[in-house]
Structure formats: structure tokens, C-alpha cells
Amino acid sequence: MAIRLFRRKEEGEKRIKIPEGMWIKCDACLEIIYKPEVERNLNVCPKCNYHFRIPAMERIRSATDEGTFQEFGDDLESVDMLTFTDTKKYTDRLKESKKKTGRKEAVITGTAKINGIDIVLSVLDFEFLGGSMGCVVGEKVAASAEVARELARPLLIFSASGGARMQEGTLSLMQMAKTSAALARLSDDHLPFISVLTDPTTGGVAASFAMLGDIIISEPGALIGFAGPRVIEQTIKQKLPEGFQRAEFLLEHGMIDMIVERTRLKPTLTQILRFLARTSPQGS
Amino acid sequence: MILQYLDFEKPIIDLENRLEQLRRVDDGTDKNLREEIAKLDKKIGKIRKEVFSNLTRWQITQLARHPNRPYMLDYVNLCFKTFLEIHGDRAFRDDPPVVSGFAELEGERVLIIGQQKGRNTTEKIRRNFGMANPEGYRKALRVMKLAEKFRLPVITFIDTPGAFPGIGAEERGQSEAIARNLLEMARLKTPILVVVIGEGGSGGALALGVGDEILMMEYAIYSVISPEGCASILWRDTARAETAAEMMKITAVDLKKFGVVDRIIPEPLGGAHRDHKAAADVLKIAMVESLSSLRGLPIPQLLDRRYAKYRDIGLLKRKAGSTG
Ligand SMILES: [Zn+2]
């Protein structure tokens, strides 16, 4: 995303050759930073600690034990049940996102280990149609809760989403109910659900599974809320206070348990999982 | 209540006014006048039928938001006996857009929870135009828990443009409040009957909308985002709301096909706003029927059925090619 800086490389005739994408500009501090260094730092700016948005597979790599991830549910694809067209056809938007991400949908689900602890996880991908929740995302998230229940394992969900997917109409709204219902059953079985909020987590995803964690963790600076800032500004005709709807604001208002930097996430998850896993699951 | 009308209702209303004028001068002596009245009456019936059998989704959206449309408390007065309102979320404040209380439906005790928009300016402001804050949803949840404890069924009435998008709402966890209701309603150990009476606006509507049976008034709408909101995001132009309403397929007939609603409640010709009593009478019969069939189910079975209902909602395709 931040590679925009050198986009015009091909058009410019006499530009100095810079190895492609070696340098990027931080979205937050606007400093030019060396990409390999950022990557070593799990895509966190070494200058200002800004957490770059990262693709779902990147998150899985950074949070789970190498080679333990096994995907399920990747046989599911969206259908255009409303034959929806706005400025583009929904089917074209899907195609573009598939091409861009190499994925079929906006969530990846599977099993993995975190420091040897077996978990089930769902990871939303903001790169795919803004991580929006349509029927496939709802189905896969609900299925991950059911798999966690069957295997009696903790569930971990990483959210990154603008909300429900408008192009699937009211059926996408219903996915909020579907995912929440599946989490209710997981909860009844005394199995932990840890929700990790990343930038951004808003709308129908925030207002369903993302805010239902037994423990809710957020990355620093993540935008989290029900309504988008623009909608709120238009409704109340007021400027929003600095830091409004950011992770730090939610922590202060008692809405999340903790803010954890990406580089500290794996050890923190391990600690939480070890602590909660001591309660053995009971059927009743 | 001042009668207001929509553009497409105007030709009908104009003819109705003329008919009323004629009736006023009719003293029973003028045979031509009598014929004229009969003719006009027939014509009105025909036009009304024509207009209302070809409503666009945008027209239905306007009917769902009609200023004269019966609101939750109108149905409460017309369908239930002995309504006793109960207030507050026991944590922050009482939120007037959400109304709850004890009621009796044909002699059966039920807890009712619903969204109330407000009829005049003062009342609209007090009810925040039907847009709840988190404490409204938390009040609703408290009342649902009360229903569960005393083994009483819940009936909810949905009529909201959406959950309130405000600074305080975000500070107090609007998304958590909605999410919590979805989870708790999915496992509430008592029957839940949901009625979409007007506007089913997004998560703010769904937060009262998870249940065993979903009834929807014929000219109500239920959508993931308002047509205006959708238009402003996708077309960057709120004037495209009409197109957005068509695209999103938000009417009772559409949603019955998708399995989002179980039963459409027919409205009097011309819409519920033309005859509150008639609309309420039909709804009342449906509520009594639905509730008595739900009451017959043992709780574990009821919950399994509810879970399966939501687990199955959605359309997608598997690699094998089957759509389901
Ligand atoms: Zn930076």
C-alpha cells in the first residue's frame, strides 16, 4: 500500500533506479524507511511504531508456529445473489480482489499452534473488499467456532473489516447473527475466544464477533467502532475529538482488555491461552 | 394526527377528497350525483389497486417511513391489553427510543420490546428518531433476561433507521451492545417473536431481531444499510438511494425468498397508515398463531431450531459447484 511513492517509476524516463519496493514511506510519520527493516519488525514502523495493515497470511505467519497452519473452508466462494452493480459489477469487484490477494474471500480459516498450543483461527483480510463480511465470511467464521467446539480448542479471530458487505444485502446483515450464534455455543462449552482487533474494525464486524471475545486485544492505533467517523460527523455536525475510536480510546472507555504491539502479540497470546486452557471444557 | 401523503399517493388522495366533497353535498335526492359518487368510488379503488400492486422498492421504502405509519406504541395499544412500561438499563440511563414492558396478548403474558420513533417534533427528539444508544440495547437485554427468568415469551418490534451514530454511543460501546444482544438472543431460553413493522435499519435493527420466527409487515423494509447510506458509499451520491433500494432488495417479498423472514403480514390496501386498526388486527392474529406454535416446543428443541435457522442463512457456492 505504501509503495505508491515509486509508482511512477516506469513513466519517468531519467529516474534513478531504486530496487523495487526497497524503500517505503510510513503512512503515519511520513519518513522514508528501509523495507527489509520494516519487515523484520513485523511491518511496524521502526521510527514511529505505526502498525501497517498486513495481509491475512502475514498475520498467520507472525502469530503462529511455523508450518503448523492448516487451512479449512477454502472451497467456499461468494455468489452474486442480488446481481448487484454499482459503479462496478459485484462479480468484477470479486474478481479484482481475488487477483489482488490470490485468495477466494476476505477471511482465512484453519487450525494452527501458538507456542505448541493448538488453536483454531479466523483471519480477516482487509485487502479483499475491505474485509467486508458477506455470506462466505459469515459462514467461515461460524464454521471456525464450530470446529473449535468440536476439537475443544480455543478460538482466535483477527478482525480487519469495514463491516458488512452491502453487495450481499440483508443476507450479509444476517451473518452478524450467524457468527454470534456460533460463538454463543462455543461460550456455553467454556472454550476461550480471543478477539484481536486490527486497523480498522468497524460496522457489522465490530458489532458482532469482534466485540464478543472473552478477551479483546487491539493493535496500537487501530480504528475501532460501530459507525464510521464521517457518518458520526455528519450526524452530529461536530468535529470529532483527537484519537476518537482509536484503540487507546477504547481501552480508556473500558471496551477492550489490552493494547498489544504486534511484536509482543505471540507471547501475550501464549500467556492468555495457557491461563484459560487450564479450565477443562465441560459439556454442561 | 395530520395526514401526510407521498407523491405517488397524491392522485389517490386527491380523488378521495373529491369523493368526500360529493358525499357531503349528497342529500339522497340527486340521482346523477349518486351515480357520480359510485363511479368515482370505483375509480379510486381501481387506481389504488394499480398503484399498490406495482410499487417499486423505493416506494415501499417511503411507505415504511411514512409519517402516519403505525409505530410500536400504536400496535401495543391496538393489539395488547394492560401494557405496563418498564424502564432503564440499570447501568447508565433509560433510552427512550427503546420501549419495553409487560403486556397481555389474548390473555397470555408476554414481555414486549420495541423501537419507537415519535410522532411530533418534541416526541421525535425525545425518541431520538428511533435511533437507540447502547443503553437502549442493554435495557432490551435486561428485559429479555427477565423474560427468560420468568419463562415468558418475548415479542420485539423493529422500527429504526439504525443504531445512533454519536460520540457518546461509541464511548459506551455501541458495537459491543449490539453484538452482545445477538449472542444472548441466540441462546435465550424462551420463545422470541420478532416483528419488523417499519424500518429495519441494519445492526441497530438486528440487535432486537434474532428470534424463532420473524414476521414482517408487507410495506416494511429491512436492510444492511439505508439506501441513502449505500448510495453515498458506492455511488458517492445520496440521490442514488432509489437505485440502491432496488439493488439491495429490501422488501418483505424479497426477504421471504432469501429466508430472512418467515411470514409476511398483509397490510390494508393503501398501507398500514391508512387504517391502523385493520393493520393491527391482522398482525395480532399472526402473533397469536406464531406464539402458540412456539410455546408448544420444548426449550432445547426451540434453541436448536433457532440455531439452525441462523446457521443456514446465506447463499454461497462450494468448489464442487453446489449452491447452498
Ligand atoms: Zn512511521
Three state DSSP letters for A76-121: EEECCCCCCECCCEHHHHHHHHHHHHCCCCCEEEEEEEECCEEEEE
R_g of chain B, CA atoms, integer Å: 21
CA distances from B198 to A208, B159, B218, B223 (A): 23, 5, 9, 11
Query: Per-residue pLDDT for B322 more than 50?
Result: no
B286 pLDDT tier (thresholds 50, 70, 90): very high
Cβ contacts of A232 on chain B, cutoff 8 Å: 165-167, 170
A26 Cα–ligand 1 center, Å: 5
- Whether residue A164 lies inside any domain: the answer is yes
Q: Check whether residue A107 and residue A201 sit in a common domain.
A: yes
What is the Cα–Cα distance from B167 to B91, expressed in whole angstroms? Answer: 18
Within 13 A of B160's CA, how many CA atoms are on the CB side? Answer: 34
Q: Check whether residue A36 and residue A81 sit in a common domain.
A: no
CA nearest neighbour of B178 among B161, B154, B162, B195: B162
What is the Cα–Cα distance from A79 to A82, expressed in whole angstroms? Answer: 9
What is the Cα–Cα distance from B311 to B215, expressed in whole angstroms? Answer: 19
What is the Cα–Cα distance from B115 to B160, expressed in whole angstroms? Answer: 6
Q: Check whether residue A46 and residue A134 sit in a common domain.
A: no
Q: Check whether residue A46 and residue A58 sit in a common domain.
A: no
CA dihedral B300, B301, B306, B309 (to 10 degrees): 140
Query: Per-residue pLDDT for B201 more than 50?
Result: yes
Question: How is residue A259 written as a grid cell?
Answer: 493494547
Cβ contacts of B167 on chain A, cutoff 8 Å: 232, 236, 238, 240-241, 244
Question: How is residue B160 written as a grid cell?
Answer: 429504526
8 Å CB contact of B170 and A212 = no
CA–chain centroid gap for B16, Å, is: 27
pLDDT at site B1: 72
Nearest Cα residue in chain A from B173: A255
How do residues A44-81 score in pLDDT, each as one tens digit? 999 999 999 999 999 999 999 999 999 999 999 999 99
Question: How is residue A43 written as a grid cell?
Answer: 511491518
The size of the A-B interface in CB pairs under 8 A is 199
A25 Cα–ligand 1 center, Å: 8
How do residues A176-229 score in pLDDT, each as one tens digit? 999 999 999 999 999 999 999 999 999 999 999 999 999 999 999 999 999 999
- Whether residue A12 lies inside any domain: the answer is no
DSSP state of A133: B
8 Å CB contact of A207 and B178 = yes
pLDDT at site A14: 45
Q: Which residues contact B155 (CB under 8 A, 6 or more apart)?
A: B103, B105, B110, B111, B112, B113, B192, B193, B194, B195, B287, B291
> With b meaning 16 or more CB within 10 Å and e meaning fewer, what string describes B73-109?
bbbbebbbeeeeeeeebeeeeebbbbbbbbbebeeee
Full residue range of the structural domain in which residue A39 is found: 1-7+18-52
A202 Cα–ligand 1 center, Å: 23
8 Å CB contact of A226 and B255 = no
A47 Cα–ligand 1 center, Å: 5
pLDDT at site A279: 59
Among B182, B234, B315, the residue with its CB nearest the CB of A135 is: B315
The minimum CA-CA distance between B246 and chain A, rounded to whole Å, is 10
8 Å CB contact of B313 and A175 = yes
- CB-CB contact of B104 with B121 (8 Å): no
Which spans in B127-275 are helix H? Answer: 134-149, 167-171, 174-187, 202-206, 227-234, 241-248, 252-257
pLDDT at site B88: 98
Query: Per-residue pLDDT for A5 more than 60?
Result: no
Q: Which residues contact B6 (CB under 8 A, 6 or more apart)?
A: B59, B62, B63, B66
> B109 versus A284: which is more confidently predicted?
B109
Cβ atoms within 10 Å, residue A135: 24
What is the Cα–Cα distance from B213 to A196, expressed in whole angstroms? Answer: 33
A17 pLDDT tier (thresholds 50, 70, 90): low
Give the sign of the dihedral formed by CA B113, CA B119, CA B123, CA B127: positive
8 Å CB contact of A184 and B171 = no
- Whether residue A173 lies inside any domain: the answer is yes
8 Å CB contact of B170 and A225 = yes
Within 13 A of B173's CA, how many CA atoms are on the CB side? Answer: 22
- Whether residue A158 lies inside any domain: the answer is yes
pTM reported for the whole predicted model: 0.94
The minimum CA-CA distance between B174 and chain A, rounded to whole Å, is 6
For testing contact with chain A, the best of B61, B137, B138, B183 (most A CBs within 10 A): B183
CA–chain centroid gap for B264, Å, is: 11
Q: What is the mean pLDDT of residues B58-62?
A: 97
The SS3 of residue A57 is helix
Q: How far apart are the first and last CA of chain B?
A: 48
What is the Cα–Cα distance from B60 to B66, expressed in whole angstroms? Answer: 9
What is the Cα–Cα distance from A103 to A74, expressed in whole angstroms? Answer: 9
R_g of chain A, CA atoms, integer Å: 19
- ipTM score for this prediction: 0.95
The minimum CA-CA distance between B77 and chain A, rounded to whole Å, is 30
A234 pLDDT tier (thresholds 50, 70, 90): confident
8 Å CB contact of A212 and B169 = no
Q: What is the mean pLDDT of residues B22-26?
A: 90
Q: Check whether residue A91 and residue A196 sit in a common domain.
A: yes
Number of structural domains chain A divides into: 2
Domain formed by B61-312, architecture: Alpha-Beta Complex (3.90)
A23 Cα–ligand 1 center, Å: 13
Which spans in chain A are helix H? Answer: 35-40, 56-63, 90-101, 135-151, 169-188, 203-206, 229-236, 247-252, 262-276
Q: Check whether residue A115 and residue A45 sit in a common domain.
A: no
DSSP state of B91: S
8 Å CB contact of B311 and A185 = no
Query: Per-residue pLDDT for A281 more than 80?
Result: no
Q: Check whether residue A47 and residue A168 sit in a common domain.
A: no
- Whether residue A257 lies inside any domain: the answer is yes
The minimum CA-CA distance between A188 and chain B, rounded to whole Å, is 9
The minimum CA-CA distance between B48 and chain A, rounded to whole Å, is 29
The minimum CA-CA distance between B31 and chain A, rounded to whole Å, is 55
8 Å CB contact of A226 and B318 = no
